[in-house]
Amino acid sequence: ALAGLTWETIDVNVKSKVIFVKRVPGISVVDWDVDFAVELHTVLVQKIRSVLKSDEVYPYLSERCKERLNEIRYIARGSGILDSLVTPLSDTKYAIFPWVGTRQLMTLNYALRQRKLKSKLPWMTCVYLEVNSNNGKEGVENIISDILHSNLDLYSLPLPEKVQIEGKYNEFIPLNLLRKQFIEDYLDFEGLKSDILNTKGVK
C-alpha cells in the first residue's frame, strides 16, 4: 500500500534503484509498527519541508490523500513552522522546528537541557522539539543562536546514564565506552550548525 492505494510490483531495477508497479484493486492497508527505532536524515526532513512549502500536485495520490496534503500544507503554513525556528504553543511552551535530522535534533535537545531548558523529543522520528521556558520566544531563539556559535563540548552534555547506540554485543561492552561511542558516532554538532544556519539563517 502506498498513497492510499494498492500496488503490485512488476519489476525492480536494482542498478538504477527503480521499482516498477501497477495499480491493482483491493483494500489499502498499511501495517506500520509505530514503535520502530529509526532515525531521519536531514535530507529527508528538509524534503518534507519542501513539499509542505510547495503547491506541487502529485498525480499518484488518491483524492483523499491530496485533500489531506492540502490540509497539512494549510496548517503548516498558517502556524509559521516552515519559516520560523521557534513557534509559541503557550506563554511558556514552544515548538522548535530546525528541519534537521534525528542526530542533529538530538544534539540540540541535549544542548538546550544543558542551558537549563526543559526540552524533549516527543518521539524518535519527530521533527521538532518541545521546550518549556520563561525567556519568551526571542529568549529561546537567542539561546539557540548562542549554542550554534559556541564551541560545544559534547562530553559535557547531560546525557542519560546508560545512553548508547543499540548493538548486538552491548551487554559485553563497558558503559563508558558505549557512552563514548554515542557521543562520537551519533551526536552531530557540526551538522546541526551548518543545517540550521543554512536553512534558517540564524545569526
> HSE of 183 in the Cβ direction (CA atoms, 13 Å)?
18
pLDDT score recorded for residue 202: 56
- State whether the Cα torsion 48-123-142-146 is positive or negative: negative
- Give which of 37, 42, 5, 39 is closest to 21, Cα–Cα: 5
| pLDDT digit string (tens) for the chain, length 203 residues | 666 677 788 989 888 888 888 887 765 555 555 445 678 999 999 999 999 999 999 999 999 999 999 999 999 999 999 999 999 999 999 999 999 999 999 999 999 999 999 999 998 889 999 999 999 999 999 999 999 999 999 999 999 988 888 888 888 999 999 999 999 999 999 999 999 987 755 55
- Residue 52's contacts (CB-CB under 8 Å, 6 or more residues apart) are 72, 73, 76, 77, 82
- Residue 157's contacts (CB-CB under 8 Å, 6 or more residues apart) are 110, 111, 113, 114, 183, 187
Give the CA diameter of the chain: 57
Residues 196/81, Cβ–Cβ less than 8 Å = no
Domain-by-domain residue ranges, the chain?
1-31, 34-203
- Give which of 1, 47, 6, 62 is closest to 199, Cα–Cα: 47
Q: SS3 breakdown of the chain: % helix, strand, coil, rounded to 5?
A: 40, 15, 45
- Give which of 163, 89, 134, 147 is closest to 97, Cα–Cα: 89
pLDDT score recorded for residue 37: 63
pLDDT score recorded for residue 29: 56
Q: What is the per-residue DSSP string for 48-63? A: HHHHHH-----TTS-H
Residue written as cell 556559535?
Answer: 149
pTM of this prediction?
A: 0.79
